[in-house]
Structure 1
Amino acid sequence: MSFLAEVIPPPGFFDDDLAELGFVMNASRLWTYRPQWQEQIFDVLGSIVREHGLTVRQRCILVAPQPSATPAAPLPGAPNWPEPPTRTWPPPSSTATTTP
């Protein structure tokens, strides 16, 4: 049961998932709604990687911190969660600023 209408995927769309994992990932099912977007986004990502010669390690280093560096924007229809508390730091003390 799903709140989204069933979409018939293109032939062979889930073949990689079934061959590698033995099941179809939810993310793969999501791509069935706009398969051309999947091709476009991976074309863009691939061209950036080739243009800059990024290794797998470099791509992971760039991608992993991205969510924490991006300001949290509310999603349409998402509940209004309270803002996280702001962190305030005490002013530096004289002991912290002097060196022996």
Structure 2
Amino acid sequence: MTFLAEPEPTPQVQALYAADVQDHGYVMNLSRVWAHHPDANSRLFALVAEVARTGGLSMRERGILVTACASTLGDSYCSLAWGTKLAAETEDADLAAGVLTGTDAGLSDREQAMASWARRVAADPNGTTSANVDGLRDAGLDDATIFAVTVFVALRLAFSTVNDALGAVPDTELWANAPSAVADVVTWGR
């Protein structure tokens, strides 16, 4: 499930696991990683939520950003989880699969610009240019939103990096619940 041993069952660990069971019906492998410091998990996601809120990012936009950056990073866990969420949010599994593969069919110009930016940030943040930022502006994003999108993607990359480095394998249930259009294209990661 992960490269780490199961942590001691403190009240914080038990609360993290109980939340998984309530939300998903099982304890997720990534929660077994983050159970070694549950407060870090909750603080990270509080910050992710705050950045998304202040940036005005819709759930659909969040799904596009996470799916684009996770697939670029080669993170199968978040690619499956967020590809599935994006498919449900848009009621279009092929759209989610398109974001995972980088074709971006069905996305608006703004969404395509955001997906492209997420991939650039994930692949080579030092390779971004002012022309790339201008492309975001041309798609209707203001500088505050560009900042929020960038921080959101960077925080999601940090989360994915911890999970991937410590061997969190996508849960069997995650694979089983993913639409086939999503599951079929996720051929990377663990």
**Does the pair score TM above 0.5?**
yes
Superposed structure 1 runs of 4+ greater than 6 Å apart: none
**Closer, same or farther in 2 for the Cα pair 1:45/1:2, shift >3 Å?**
closer
Deviation at 1:21, TM superposition (A): 3.0
Q: Show the counterpart of 1:36.
A: 39
**Closer, same or farther in 2 for the Cα pair 1:9/1:54, shift >3 Å?**
farther
2: CA distance, partners of 1:57 / 1:3: 32
Q: Which residue, 41, 66, 69 being the options, matches 2:69?
A: 66
Higher RCO by CA contacts (8 Å cutoff, separation 6 or greater):
2
Matched, 1:15 2:23: no
**Closer, same or farther in 2 for the Cα pair 1:54/1:24, shift >3 Å?**
same
Paired residue total: 74
Deviation at 1:2, TM superposition (A): 6.9
User: Of the two, which has the highest radius of gyration?
Assistant: 1
Flag structure 2 segments of 5+ consecutive residues without an equivalent: 73-118, 125-163, 166-190
Compute the RMSD of aligned alpha carbons: 2.7
Q: Which amino acid aligns with 1:56?
A: M
TM-score when normalising by structure 1: 0.58
SS of equivalent to 2:16: coil
Flag structure 1 segments of 5+ consecutive residues without an equivalent: 77-100
Deviation at 1:20, TM superposition (A): 3.1
Q: Show the counterpart of 1:49.
A: 52
Greater fraction of residues in helix = 2
Deviation at 1:59, TM superposition (A): 0.7
Q: Which amino acid aligns with 2:39?
A: Q
